Amino acid sequence: MNRSSFAINTLLAAQLAIGTASIGLLAFAPPAKGEMLLLPLRSGAPVARLARNGDAMLLARGPGDGLVVRGQRAALFWPLLRAGVLTLAAPRSWCGEVR
């Protein structure tokens, strides 16, 4: 394999990795409005209080210390992220049936 084909293969592999990662991130991007999973990144983060401050309705416990809420991404995402809480889409396979 010569140097130019190695560079092309490396660039193609990098492009494939970036594309795959982007699709994975989009799959868990929180919706603009609806059910979201709030996962604390550090122990002791006041998830429920912060969610209620953002006018979210608490629906259920999520995996780990997480919560499933219904709310607006614009009101929740940045305040929660600053407090160490990740806001994700709430797929039914992770969170179960929420009513």
Residue pLDDT, tens place only, 26-85: 777 888 899 999 999 988 888 999 999 999 999 988 888 889 999 999 999 999 999 999
Q: Please check the confidence at residue 98 and state whether its pLDDT lies above 60.
A: no
Q: How many CA atoms lie within 13 A of 52 on its CB side?
A: 5
What is the pLDDT at residue 43? 84
Query: Domain 33-95 - what CATH class?
Result: alpha beta
- The CA distance from 95 to 92, in Å, is 5
Residues 6+ apart with CB under 8 A from 28: 88, 89, 91
Spans of all domains in the chain: 1-29, 33-95
